[in-house]
Amino acid sequence: MTWSFVLKTSRPGLWFPTIWLYLLPLSGSELWRSNAFWIGLIFITFPLNLLVYGWNDLVDTETDRLNPRKDSYLFGACGTDGELRRLPLTIAAVQALCWPAMIYVGGWQTAAALIGVLIFCWIYNHPGWGWRSKPPLELFCQVGYLLVLPITVSLNGVPFPSLWVMVYLSLFCLQSQLIGEVMDIEPDSTAGRRTTATAIGAIWTKTLIIAVVIAEILMLGLCFGDWPFAGGLGLFLCWLLFDLVKIGAKKYSTVQFRLFGIGSNGAAALSMIYIWKSGVFG
């Protein structure tokens, strides 16, 4: 097993949701100067995503081998049988190195959140009744990403986000999952895996994504009073409308996959900077 395989398994191209969620409650603060901030930030990048995505890879082996996005740092590894056999031990070793420091600094709240992550991963990935193949239940599992918030709060001693912020972030997690399902609709269908996207088709899934993004835009403007940020998300909405009309149910090319991944990371970086400076969710 190589370091390249392990790093690809953690999907560096998809670290931005957990980083985004971790930084959100800390916007406008000087907490980046503390050791606790960096302990948490390091954990929610590689170790946390290795656990979440690595566990998923162990049950999605056949689907991943049909997926043109795989074997990249943007979208994940495509391991050999030997690498996948050793992957559980690698994941466990990384968690064993990180959890003591996280719990020491964050206390029982952090421990509870970490156990919650394990529970959500188990529910989603169970090989028999796992929700990953039971649409639309797989969408509800995405709220497990919100467990990053109690980790942030307990490590850094900041107030918990408001209910409206939680609703917005739930929509964000739902949107991210649906986008991933649309991009994987071809290999998932070929491998016989059922998701919301394979169940209702690309057109209706893209329409649902558009509806979710419109709800996010309205929340940003009406609930948080931040129309500039809402306008930035409106640009993403324009792309989604273009994609629905011009691409529709057509298969994405490898180049389109990569451009979307790079663009998503760029947009996420800009939004994180804006949120940190503006304190819109504070």
Domain locations along the chain: 3-278
Q: What is the pLDDT of residue 255?
A: 79
Q: What is the DSSP letter of 32?
A: G
CA Rg value for the chain: 18
pTM for the whole structure: 0.92
Determine how many CB atoms are found less than 10 A away from the CB of residue 104: 11
Is 104:97 a contact under the CB 8 Å cutoff? Answer: no
122-157 pLDDT, tens digit each: 999 998 899 999 999 999 998 899 999 999 999 999
The string of pLDDT tens digits covering residues 61-87 is: 888 888 888 888 888 888 888 999 999
User: pLDDT digit string (tens) for 171-195?
Assistant: 999 999 999 899 889 888 988 889 9
What phi and psi values does residue 28 have, to the nearest 5 degrees? 80, 0
